Amino acid sequence: MSTAKQPPAGIATVTTPSDREIRIERVFDAPRERVWRAMTDPELLAQWWGRGYKLDVERLEVERGGHWRFVEHGPDGVHGFEGRFREVVAPERMVQTFEWDGMPGYVAVDTMTLEDLGDGRTRVVTVSLFHTTEERDGMLSSGMEGGLNQSYAALDRLLVSLG
Amino acid sequence: MSTAKQPPAGIATVTTPSDREIRIERVFDAPRERVWRAMTDPELLAQWWGRGYKLDVERLEVERGGHWRFVEHGPDGVHGFEGRFREVVAPERMVQTFEWDGMPGYVAVDTMTLEDLGDGRTRVVTVSLFHTTEERDGMLSSGMEGGLNQSYAALDRLLVSLG
């Protein structure tokens, strides 16, 4: 009998390494280059980022200083998100800001790393840093985790189709 | 003999109330409504914000969720700055983000309050919150204080001309 130390496949591990951070870890069954492409090609990103709902990629300039802006058309309304790239190192690392139109001026910094697991799989770790603990807790209680797992499930399906 | 507890008139007081904050205090010899106007009217703001140098106000949407973007043409080159408004309460308070193109993705949150001193003068206090102490210290060592005093001196002159 195995013990359930790991979450079931397809579920992200969400932890809080400090009082202003959220850490999200997820393994994808696809090579790193393919995962990176799905995250940086606007036509591919539009197919998974918005939980599988319609997503307008209004701007996606994947380079230092570049801006991004996405608008999701979900069952709970239209939501805009935007930010700017601090650092881009293909295919292994990007650092960018993240802001939701519903709370303008509240900005998290997301540091994402893609690790090649050597067996055709890729581990993606994102650490989000907030200005305050209250902002971090607001994000945690926003339904973020459910939405994230929906988006990553849509990404799983896309990665299979690109295989 | 008086003791020099206060900085000379026309010089901002810069302090660090916490390890991720900078606090700037400055008194202007003009009524609060006039100071607010100089800070929110793009044609007026262009005359002082960039240390008196040419400033392009590309975007200035003074409302919750609105964006701003300015480009300064100074002797040390062309510098872009941008951010977004979190909160606007005319003529007494605004909260906005601040980012310099030279360090994209490094975002401070500036909370500015304008206090009517009741004698035709206005005290302006800005508290900037950074994600890390390193970012705060980087700002402190960037020459910010000198540039700030130049901009505020240009604002002094503009406020006189509006009187």
Query: For residues B51 and A40, what is the distance between their CA atoms, to the nearest angstrom?
Result: 39
> Could you report the per-residue pLDDT of B111-141, keeping only the tens digit for each?
999 999 999 999 999 999 999 999 999 999 9
Query: For residues B109 and B28, what is the distance between their CA atoms, to the nearest angstrom?
Result: 23
B107 part of contact set with chain A, CB < 8 Å: yes
Q: Do A104 and B64 touch (CB under 8 A)?
A: yes
Q: Which residues in A lie closer than 8 A to residue B133 (C-beta atoms)? A: none
Query: For residues B112 and B115, what is the distance between their CA atoms, to the nearest angstrom?
Result: 10
Q: Which two tokens stand for residue B152?
A: 């505020």
Q: Do A109 and B104 touch (CB under 8 A)?
A: no
Tell me which chain A residue has its CA closest to the CA of residue B66. Answer: A104
Q: Which of A84, A105, A129 sits opposite B131 (nearest CB)?
A: A129
Instruction: Tell me: ipTM over 0.90.
Output: yes
Q: Supply the DSSP symbol for A142.
A: T
Query: For residues B125 and B90, what is the distance between their CA atoms, to the nearest angstrom?
Result: 15
% helix / strand / coil in chain B, to the nearest 5?
A: 25, 40, 35
Per-residue pLDDT tens digits of chain A, which is 163 residues long: 444 455 666 899 999 999 999 999 999 999 999 999 999 999 999 999 999 899 999 999 999 999 999 999 999 899 999 999 999 999 999 999 999 999 999 999 999 999 999 999 999 999 999 999 999 999 999 999 999 999 999 999 999 999 8
Q: Which residues in B lie closer than 8 A to residue A95 (C-beta atoms)? A: 105
Q: Do A105 and B104 touch (CB under 8 A)?
A: no
pTM: 0.93
- Give the residue from B151, B120, B146 showing the smallest Cα distance to B38: B151
Quick one: pLDDT at residue B163? 87
Q: Which of A84, A106, A109 sits opposite B131 (nearest CB)?
A: A109
B84 part of contact set with chain A, CB < 8 Å: yes
How close does chain A come to B5, measured CA to CA in Å? 33
Quick one: pLDDT at residue A2? 46
Q: Which residues in B lie closer than 8 A to residue A66 (C-beta atoms)? A: 104
Confidence tier at B10 by pLDDT (50, 70, 90): confident
Task: State mean pLDDT over B67-83.
Answer: 96
Quick one: pLDDT at residue B91? 98
Q: Which two tokens stand for residue B77?
A: 């080159």
- Give the residue from A44, A103, A63 showing the smallest Cα distance to A79: A103
